[in-house]
Each structure stands twice: as C-alpha cells, then as structure tokens.
Amino acid sequence: MADSLSLAMLVLLETLSPEQRAVLLLHDVFDYGYAEISAIVGKSEANVRQLATRARRHVEQRRPRFQTTREQRDELIQRFLAAAQRGDLAGLEALLASDVKLTADGGGKVPALARPLQGRNRVARAVVEYIGGLADVSVRSVEVNDGPGVFHLDQQQRLLGVVGLDIADGQIRAISSVVNPDKLAHLGPIGDLAALRRSAT
C-alpha cells in the first residue's frame, strides 16, 4: 500500500482516527463495500458511511491549497539542508509548518526515533542533531514517492538514509526518514550509519 500511495497522502492518513483511516482505505483504496466494512470494524453501515464522509472531508481540508513549483521546492530543500548542517535552529524553524511532523524508521537495526515528533522546535532540534551531528556525510536531492527527498551518503557514496519531505504552501509540513537498511537495500550499497553515529559521539 505504501508503494501505491504518495508520502503526502500517507501523512494525511495519519491525521485520521484509526476507524476513519480503516474505513477510508478499505472503501476508497481496496474497494470494499460498506456492508463488508461494517462487519470488519463492528459498526453499523450508517456509521461506516459517516466515518468515510468525515475522513474524506478531513483529507480534503488538509490538502495543499496550491502546488509549490519545482524551483521553489528545490530552493526550500537547499535552505533546509544548509540550515540543518550549520545548526541554525531559527533558520530551520522558519521553513517548517507549525504542526510539522517527523517520523523515522530504523527497523530496530539503526537508532531512530521511538515515536513521531511534532512541532517546529522539537523537529528542528532533531533534524540538526541528525544531519549536523554526522561528519563526512553528503546529501543528494532525489524524488521520493513522487515528492522531494534527500539521500544521505557516506564518503564511499553508500546510502545511509532517505528523507522524504512533504512541502505545501511554501513550508515543510512533514519529514519522513528511513534508515532501516532492509528498506534501503534495493537502492544500492548501504553504509553503516550505526558505526558513524558511534564515532561521532
């Protein structure tokens, strides 16, 4: 499912209640009928329809009001990376939405966030610690799930992690980091992020 949905849509789905998310995905993505969904979630068909309506309304309200151009997007990413590498918290916070959310997937194999972080200051501090705290790491802008993203590479150009950015209205609304080597292996040679972190401390 994650491969077929954009990062921005996945972020939007996380803002729904578990019941709303289940109903919306089962009906709109997997094409289940309301009667079938009613049996799965243990609610009446009328309640299921109401949950679907509310979920769709919520998703529509959170969609970007206008699309950021590629040039604006690339400039924002460059400013984001420069601020993070300099440790410029104020500069970084200025690029983030007030309710920005950061998630990280280490798969239990690489240290990552235990739970998502939300809010400009908390997210900015975590990004500075992650990007600014690693020496000899380069970055490369890439497309991630049809959206903007960044590869983090070691000195041998081996992949350390992938960061996807959800940009709307000129701000970064969500940051999704994947450092789990099992999920990165199909992208090429993988570096040892855990070792780099140990050497940086």
Residue 36: the pLDDT is 93
Residue 11: the pLDDT is 67
Domains of the chain: total: 2
Asked if residue 140 is part of any domain, the answer here is: yes
Residue 4: the pLDDT is 45
If asked whether residues 125 and 194 sit together in one domain, one would say yes
Asked if residue 132 is part of any domain, the answer here is: yes
The domain boundary, picked from 28, 44, 62, lies at 62
If asked whether residues 12 and 92 sit together in one domain, one would say no
3-state secondary structure 103-161: EEECCCCCCCCCCCEECHHHHHHHHHHHHHCCCCCEEEEEEECCEEEEEEECCCCCEEE
CA 126 – CA 104 distance, rounded (Å): 11
Q: What is the CATH number of the domain that holds 143?
A: 3.10.450.50
If asked whether residues 110 and 15 sit together in one domain, one would say no
In this structure, what are the phi and psi dihedrals at residue 111, rounded to the nearest 5 degrees? -55, 130
Q: Does residue 152 contact residue 139 with C-beta atoms inside 8 Å?
A: yes
If asked whether residues 136 and 187 sit together in one domain, one would say yes
Residue 63 half-sphere exposure toward CB, CA atoms < 13 A: 10
Residue 117: the pLDDT is 87
Q: What is the CATH number of the domain that holds 57?
A: 1.10.10.10
Q: Which residues of the chain have pLDDT under 70?
A: 1-11, 62-68, 106-112, 114, 132-135, 145-146, 197-198, 200-201
Across all residues in the chain, what is the average pLDDT? 81
Asked if residue 83 is part of any domain, the answer here is: yes
Whole-model pTM: value is 0.62
Query: What is the number of helices (H) and of strands (E) in the chain?
Result: 9, 6
If asked whether residues 53 and 104 sit together in one domain, one would say no
If asked whether residues 17 and 77 sit together in one domain, one would say no
Residue 1: the pLDDT is 45
If asked whether residues 88 and 118 sit together in one domain, one would say yes
Q: How far apart are the first and last CA of the chain?
A: 38
If asked whether residues 38 and 137 sit together in one domain, one would say no
Domain that holds residue 191: 70-200
